[in-house]
Amino acid sequence: MKKILVAAVLVLGTLGIFAQAGTQYIAIMPGYQWSTGSYTYNDGAFQTKAKGEGNFVFSLDYGYFFTENVGLHAAYMYDKGDYKAQLTYLPLNWGTGSYKFSRTVNIFEIGPEFATKAGTNGQFYGQINLGYTFGSGETHFYLNGNRYNLGNVGGNDWAFGGAFGYRYYFNNSVGLGVQVAYHHINGFDINDMWDSRLGVWFKF
């Protein structure tokens, strides 16, 4: 009888971790954005050829589950982009040298989230998100008192994307997780952004 009671308590305790209809979570997730590719941008007589580098990302996520498997996800994401640029004066095909610059992209996003159990305490989840970036899009340099733009890699624009991940809850309140996320920002000169993040989940 004692064994049956212990087994019942263990089963109910495990079910309690994923009885998540009506529950919420907050996740803190630092991560790494992979190299974002390259672009070419012309401003008058000058041409910029720039390449994005891998860089640090961070997000603060919030979720609310309406059912056991379907919820709503919202997040703020911070992305510090680093770039190497080669500048050329086109009429003379004269290279002005290399130039390094950074752009900070901030994104607010929201969308549905879908989750399913994976083992005793784990979950696989997926998100579809629509967001908006904010910040200054003008990246420029000065030559002989004139200002030249280097392209838009951090302006205000719509963003959409998704994420897929796995999280493991140690108890009813705390878990760890890892995810891969994608964002597309049509107005940016480099508009496809991939990153991976590792974070802590707090469920309440």
Q: What is the secondary structure of 47-106 as a DSSP string?
A: EEEEEEE-EEEEEEEEEEESSSSEEEEEEEEEEEEEEEEEEEEGGGTEEEEEEEEEEEEE
Q: Which of 1-10, 23-32, 83-92 has the lowest mean pLDDT?
A: 1-10
What is the rounded average pLDDT of the residues 104-115? 95
Residue 41 has pLDDT above 90, yes or no: no
CATH number of the domain that residue 153 is part of: 2.40.160.20
Residue 110 has pLDDT above 90, yes or no: yes
pLDDT band per the 50, 70, 90 thresholds, residue 15: very low
Other C-beta atoms closer than 10 Å to the C-beta of 97 total 8
Give CA angle at 34 (203, 83), nearest 5°: 125
Is residue 36 in some structural domain?
yes
pLDDT tens for 152-187 read 888 889 999 999 999 999 998 999 999 999 999 988
What is the rounded average pLDDT of the residues 39-51? 85
Tally of domains within the chain: 1
Q: Tell me, what's the pLDDT at 50? A: 86
Whole-angstrom CA distances from 66 to 17, 23, 33, 72, 112 are 15, 8, 31, 8, 10
Other C-beta atoms closer than 10 Å to the C-beta of 21 total 12
Domain containing 198 equals 2-41+55-81+103-203
What is the rounded average pLDDT of the residues 134-163? 80
pLDDT band per the 50, 70, 90 thresholds, residue 200: very high
Q: Which of 86-95, 102-111, 193-202 has the lowest mean pLDDT?
A: 86-95
- pTM score of the predicted model: 0.81
Q: Tell me, what's the pLDDT at 12? A: 32
Is residue 89 in some structural domain?
no
Is residue 68 in some structural domain?
yes
Residue 146 has pLDDT above 90, yes or no: no
Alpha-carbon distance of 111 to 127, in angstroms, equals 7
Is residue 72 in some structural domain?
yes
Is residue 13 in some structural domain?
yes
Is residue 187 in some structural domain?
yes
Label the pairing between strands 146-149 and 24-33.
unpaired
Q: Are 72 and 64 in contact (CB under 8 A)?
A: yes
Is residue 92 in some structural domain?
no
Q: Tell me, what's the pLDDT at 124? A: 98
Is residue 190 in some structural domain?
yes
